[in-house]
Amino acid sequence: MSSNASARNTFATPEQLSTLSTSGWNLISSSPASAPLANPPAAESEGYAAQPPSQQRLHRSFEFKDFSQAWAFMSRCALAAEKLNHHPEWSNVWNKVEIELTTHDRDGALTGLDVKLAERISVFAQEGGDRKAAAGV
Ligand SMILES: C[C@H](O)[C@H](O)[C@H]1CNC2=NC(N)=NC(=O)C2=N1
């Protein structure tokens, strides 16, 4: 199993989420819909917890000098997403970028792929001149 495939099959750990929150990522949790999950989670033998975590997302806002710097940042994120086959939900208004991460194939749980992509995005933000990271907000 490729490392990406195995990362998609493991839920993000509280420690990983805590580390991401110190670098500006916000954890958004919503209680799962009352209806049973569309695809019941795989058995524990495949590395799934007995019950999937509630619907979870990672969110972070970015602000750059101008559109050009924002677009350069988004370009690096896009290449990383393609390499991981794991893609953000994002928006851009001039110099601002909003990114949300979750794993659609795991009914909106946060998995190792969300962690991997968030870590890469954090590096690109730091290197790309994100003013929120610089300001420590
Ligand atoms: C077939 C499926 O779309 C692919 O395996 C990938 C594409 N990119 C993806 N991105 C995200 N965020 N979640 C996914 O489950 C996902 N699946």
Counting from 1 in the atom list of ligand 1, the atom nearest the Cα of 114 is 12
Report which of 95, 98, 92 is spatially closest to residue 129, judged by C-alpha positions. 95
For the chain, which residues make up each domain, given as ranges?
53-89+110-136
Which residue among 103, 105, 115 is best mutated to probe the pocket of ligand 1, counting the most ligand atoms within 8 A of its Cβ? 105
For CA atoms 107, 117, 112, 19, give the dihedral sign.
Answer: negative
Mean pLDDT over the full length of the chain: 87
Ligand 1 center to residue 95 CA distance, Å?
27
Q: How confident is the model at residue 4 (pLDDT cuts 50, 70, 90)?
A: confident
* 84 Cα: distance to centroid of ligand 1 (angstroms): 9
Query: What gap in Å lies between CA 37 and CA 85, rounded to an integer?
Result: 23
Is residue 115 very low, low, confident or very high in pLDDT (cuts 50, 70, 90)?
very high
What pTM was computed for the model?
Answer: 0.84
Q: Could you tell me what percent of the chain has a pLDDT over 90?
A: 72
CA 134 – ligand 1 centroid, Å: 31
Interface confidence: ipTM more than 0.90: yes
User: Model confidence over 119-135: pLDDT tens digits?
Assistant: 999 999 999 999 998 77
Residues facing 30 on adjacent strands? 55
Residue 118 phi, psi (nearest 5) = -60, -40
Instruction: Answer whether 57 contacts ligand 1 (Cβ < 6 A).
Output: no
Query: Given this model, what pLDDT does residue 50 score?
Result: 41
